[in-house]
Amino acid sequence: MAELVPGRFTNKVALLTGAASGIGRATALRLAAEGAKVFAVDVDAAGLATLQDEVSAASGTIITRTGSIADHDECFAAVEQCVADFEQLDVLGNIAGVSRAEHFPELSEEHYRRMMAVNTDGPYFLCQAAIPHLLKVDGNIINIASNAGLMGTAYTVAYAMTKGAIVQLTKGLAMEYAKTKLRVNAIAPGGITTGLTNAFHIPEGVDLDLMIPYMGFRGMGDPDDIASLFAFVASNDGKNMHGSILSSDLGLTVG
């Protein structure tokens, strides 16, 4: 685990989605340990309860909210509660996401729409809800994209579409708010060992040659590899970054 920077987020409030597991959980633990008040959103109530215990045991500050970011009204309600409880919002971390691999013709409409709703609609509506508050404090947004949003990935076409949309959400917002102090950036992880990758199921009959480009040669990263980069970008250390799509992928997108 990269070293913590104590006090880096003192007096800052961070709303993080997907905080019950994987990258979101590692980010919540790191930001809380560095002084942030964390507002953690997830559908997984049990995972949020575990996170809350862990942050509280380390004398951190956290409020959790169980809800689905696939729902437009929930996105606005989550931001509203965060600002009501903590009186400000400095960092929005759009981290929650779902993934599924299938042969292209076989992905069901249900799975397609779920990926779109969680990975794309949720971040879009959370940005809409959060930006008025972020503008008051010169805050920032970090969207979690993926190497899949930057390259062709066989058998995960819909997932890659959602992550390509995250790249464009980031760039479009960065341009629209270029004359303000709001910063909008994205991090594009490669393979990270989390619940998402542990549950990743390779469909029968795939051509593994086509998957090698996004498996890479250097194995998997850890959630804190992304959490530590998130903390750097979201803090004043990242003040020069706006509209950046930052790969942290052990070289997956190099060639």
Is 123 an interacting residue with respect to ligand NAD (CB under 6 A)? Answer: no
| Beta carbon nearer to ligand NAD, 7 or 255 | 255
What track of x and - describes contact with ligand NAD for positions 13 through 52 (by CB under 6 A)? ----xx-xxxxx----------------xxxx--x-----
The Cα 198–Cα 14 span in angstroms is 27
Indicate the residue among 112 and 137 with the shorter CB distance to ligand NAD.
112
Q: Does residue 86 sit in helix, strand or coil?
A: helix
- 165 to 204, contacts with ligand NAD by CB under 6 A? 189, 191-192, 194-197
Q: Is the dihedral of CA 101, 159, 126, 95 positive or negative?
A: positive
Task: Report, in angstroms and rounded to the nearest whole number, the Rg of the chain calculated over CA atoms.
Answer: 17
Q: Contact with ligand NAD (CB under 6 A): which of 96, 182, 234, 252?
A: 96
Catalytic residues: 159
Nearest CB to ligand NAD, comparing residues 118 and 174: 118
Q: Least distance (Å) from ligand NAD to the CB of residue 226?
A: 7
3-state secondary structure of 233: helix
Q: Does 157 bind ligand NAD (CB under 6 A)?
A: no
The DSSP annotation for 34-52 comes to TT-EEEEEES-HHHHHHHH
Distance CA 98, CA 246 (A): 20
